[in-house]
Amino acid sequence: MKIIPFLLFIILAAFAPKTEGNLYQLAGDVVSFLIEITRIQPYLLSLYPAKNRPKEEHFDFIIIGSGPSGSALANRLTENPNVKVLLLESGEEPSLIVDIPIVAGALEFTSYNYNYKSQRQPNFCTGCPNGVLQWPHGNVLGGSSVINYMIYVRGNPADYDKWAALGNPGWSYEDILPYFKKLEDSRVSRSDEAYRGKGGNVAVSDVPWRSGIVDVYVNACTEAGHEYVDYNGRRQLGVSYIQSTTRNGARWHAEKAYLRQARSRKNLKIQVKSRATKILIDPRTKTAYGVEYYYEKKRHVVYAKKEVISSAGSLNSPQLLMLSGVGPKDHLEELGIPVIQDLPVGKKMYDHATFPLIMFQVDKPLVINAVTAALNPFNYIGVLFGKGLFTSIGGVEAITYVKTNISTDPDPLYPDVELLMVGGALNTDFGIIFRKIFNVKPEIYNKIFLPLFTKYVYMVTPVVLHPKSFGWIKLNSSNPWDAPLFYPNYFSDPEDHDVKTFIAAFRELERINSMPSMQKIGSRIVSIPVPGCESHRFDSDEYWACAVRTVIGSYYHQVATCKMGPEGDPEAVVDHKLRVHGVKKLRVVDTSVIPIPPATHNVGPAYAIGEKAADIIKNCYGI
Ligand SMILES: Cc1cc2nc3c(=O)[nH]c(=O)nc-3n(C[C@H](O)[C@H](O)[C@H](O)COP(=O)(O)OP(=O)(O)OC[C@H]3O[C@@H](n4cnc5c(N)ncnc54)[C@H](O)[C@@H]3O)c2cc1C
Ligand SMILES: *[C@@H]1O[C@H](CO)[C@@H](O)[C@H](O)[C@H]1NC(C)=O
Ligand SMILES: *[C@@H]1O[C@H](CO)[C@@H](O)[C@H](O)[C@H]1NC(C)=O
């Protein structure tokens, strides 16, 4: 068995540098192709037959997009049998392959992803292929919850209190906590029961499989003074094994959580492969009344008696609003789109950037070995029973929330950094999948990772939770099929807060690495410099500043693209009831309304936003 990884290494090592990554490309394409084949399964056994397109054209509510927010909302609104709802989703229904947690990363390279890229900018990504980032986003029933890494975090109480303080009554922690309890079916071992929910729609569980290194990491964190916590409970600050949106070792996405239960209701129509291209708004009264969409290349129009709700996600809700005449006046005029309401749609886009090249090497085989894992038949059988390595959520194993010594927030329990611990590094899959996810050029990859192919290495990817830099989204044209333009604009804040926070995170990681548990296994930082940064002394602040500007990844938590805020807020697109300012009968219900980047991964808040919006709307109409 041992000989096979060795042979593979020899082959890759021999060819990879010369092929400029073509070999990785090929191997990655094979993996994507194998997953694509499984898309046949929903055709054979469909829960949402696309042929059942509704004959009627009138509904009370039309919801565009079936991500976590849209699915939760569709389910709750149709609890009342008198309320007729149409849910339009541009993607198809997911196949069973997405259930297997270990394939998470590869789903980015299938047709379940819109396959967007970011625009090239000078501040960052000098070592990314063509200077651009992968900018994935789910194009499938269930939205990004179908292709994400299943990390489950609620966020910090202070995040929600800040939303409320910005002029959004009803969104404080006290207001939102009941929705988190309601939505969760939480089965985690380290659990603050008073804060957690049982019996809700979204399954939250521990990951059944753990590598040898994660226990050492968690111990080292506690030795460094990080409390061992339920980070979704009483206190977020501290260390914990990862909690995941899985049940019995299988992915639990929005379709399973909310649509499966509601799909046979007579008052709910769920329509896949139907892409909304325009929200119809009467320009005189500024009232939304319907949606234009395409199904099988044919144009259709449907009408909403009560409301149109955009749940198309933080990248597509702004796109759809702008296509419909709601957006920045000059931008729409420049594209020839008649302006209905001048609003700062897409003007701000915050994201959570992450750095994949801080790694530690150990002497024992405590980390994930992809080859022996792939060759072990138990893993294939085990995953059917919710056991074994394939239940690992893309290798993510533990999380630490840290308040670094450069944080200026007065709240002592408000983290500015997340450390996400993975039981392997970019050498683990020989550059087939994760190299591309984290936007590493082949030349840079080969320099750093070829020497590590036979070594035991794990990484901890830090996340700057409250970046000061922000980017924006624009339309490329008035053509709804044209991808929007995404400008992440990382590391653009004049005070360099984000780079400094990354460096503070690296220092904390080094401190954790110096703890007795880590030292006992000989853990040491991998000191191969990032090409282009060799002129700086390795591990100096200048070195790290160069490194993060060379290679950077995203955890795909874009927010604020349809920011929630009061009437007088020049950045606000929707109010605290998620109604689009100045337009009647139109709401946005998804992560694009989140006003400032929270200390979380966004699927938890996305579900909570859907649940909360359902109550807002029900109260508004007395239904
Ligand atoms: C690769 C990846 C990994 C991630 N990992 C994690 C993680 O581990 N943990 C975590 O908490 N978060 C993670 N996230 C983020 C999280 O999944 C999202 O924040 C969350 O799904 C957002 O929910 P949403 O309801 O706002 O919209 P989305 O999930 O974005 O759903 C929007 C839906 O609208 C549909 N749609 C868009 N435009 C149209 C249109 N014009 N007509 C019809 N339908 C349309 C889309 O197809 C999609 O189904 C990840 C995201 C990605 C992309
Ligand atoms: C923060 O901690 C680092 C080491 O972890 C130290 O070098 C630095 O001086 C500290 N900064 C402040 C402002 O205390
Ligand atoms: C934007 O449109 C131009 C001209 O039609 C095209 O060449 C370019 O590829 C488009 N950009 C994107 C990101 O699709």
Tens of pLDDT, residue by residue over 146-169, are: 999 999 999 999 999 999 999 999
Helix residue ranges per DSSP H, 126-232: 157-165, 173-183, 212-223
What pLDDT does 1 receive? 42
> 274 has which bridge partners?
295
Binding residue positions for substrate: 555
pLDDT reported for residue 117: 97
- For 159-192, b/e burial (b = at least 16 CB within 10 A) is bbbbbbebbbeebbbebbbebbbbbbbbbbeebe
Ligand 1 midpoint to CA 137 (Å): 6
Measured in angstroms, how far is the CA atom of residue 313 from the centroid of ligand 1? 6
φ and ψ at residue 200, rounded to 5 degrees:
-80, -175
Percent of the chain with pLDDT over 90: 92
pLDDT of 10: 62
pLDDT in tens, 550-581: 999 999 999 999 999 999 999 999 999 999 99
402 CA → ligand 2 middle, Å: 14
Average pLDDT over residues 232-242: 98
* Cα 476 to ligand 3 centre (Å): 6
480 contacts 440 by C-beta, under 8 angstroms: no
Give yes or no for residue 289 having a pLDDT over 70: yes
Q: For residue 404, is pLDDT > 50?
A: yes
C-beta of 479 in contact with ligand 3 (< 6 A): no
The finding on whether 69 has its CB within 6 A of some atom of ligand 1 is: yes
Report the nearest-CA residue for atom 8 of ligand 2.
Answer: 405
Question: What's the pLDDT tens digit per position in 360-374?
Answer: 999 999 999 999 999
| Residues with active-site annotation | 557, 601
Q: Which atom of ligand 2 is nearest to the CA of 406?
A: 13
Quick check: 142 and 255 in contact, CB under 8 A? Answer: yes
Q: Determine whether the shortest distance from the Cβ of 476 to ligand 3 is under 6 A.
A: yes
Return the ligand 2 atom nearest residue 405 CA.
1
Is residue 405's pLDDT more than 70?
yes
DSSP structure class, residue 201: S
Mean pLDDT of 406-431: 97
Kindly tell me if the per-residue pLDDT of 7 is higher than 90: no
Does residue 9 carry a pLDDT above 80?
no
Q: Tell me the per-residue pLDDT of 198-230, one tens digit each, with 9 for 90 and over.
A: 999 999 999 999 999 999 999 999 999 999 999
Residues 420-445 have pLDDT tens digits of 999 999 999 999 999 999 999 999 99
Mean pLDDT of the chain: 95
The conformation of residue 381, written as its DSSP 8-state character, comes to: H
Nearest residue (by CA) to ligand 1, atom 30, is: 313
Give the pLDDT of residue 621: 97
- Domains of the chain and any CATH numbers: 4-621 (3.50.50.60)
Question: Considering only CA atoms, which residue is closest to atom 10 of ligand 3?
Answer: 476
Distance CA 496, CA 295 (A): 47
Query: pLDDT, tens digit, for every residue of 327-353?
Result: 999 999 999 999 999 999 999 999 999
Looking at the CA of 474, which ligand is closest? Answer: 3
Ligand nearest to the CA of 406: 2
Residues 6+ apart with CB under 8 A from 521: 216, 362, 363, 364, 366
Question: Above 80 in pLDDT, residue 543?
Answer: yes
Residues 6+ apart with CB under 8 A from 105: 149, 394, 433, 434, 437
Average pLDDT over residues 31-54: 85
Confidence category of residue 296, pLDDT binned at 50, 70, 90: confident
**For the CA of 407, the nearest ligand:** 2
Sort residue 443 into left (φ over 0), alpha (ψ -120 to 50) or beta.
Answer: alpha
Query: What are 170-184's pLDDT values in tens digits?
Result: 999 999 999 999 999
What are the b/e assignments for 246-284, b being 16+ CB within 10 Å? bbebbbbbbbbbbbeebbebebbbbbbbbbbbbbbbeee
- Residue bearing the CA closest to ligand 3, atom 14: 483
| pLDDT the model gives residue 23 | 80
Q: Give the span between the Cα atoms of 580 and 578, in whole angstroms.
A: 6
Binding-site residue numbers for FAD are: 140
Q: Whose CA is nearest to atom 9 of ligand 2?
A: 405
pLDDT of residue 531: 97
Angle separating helix axes 68-77 and 603-621, nearest 10 degrees: 30
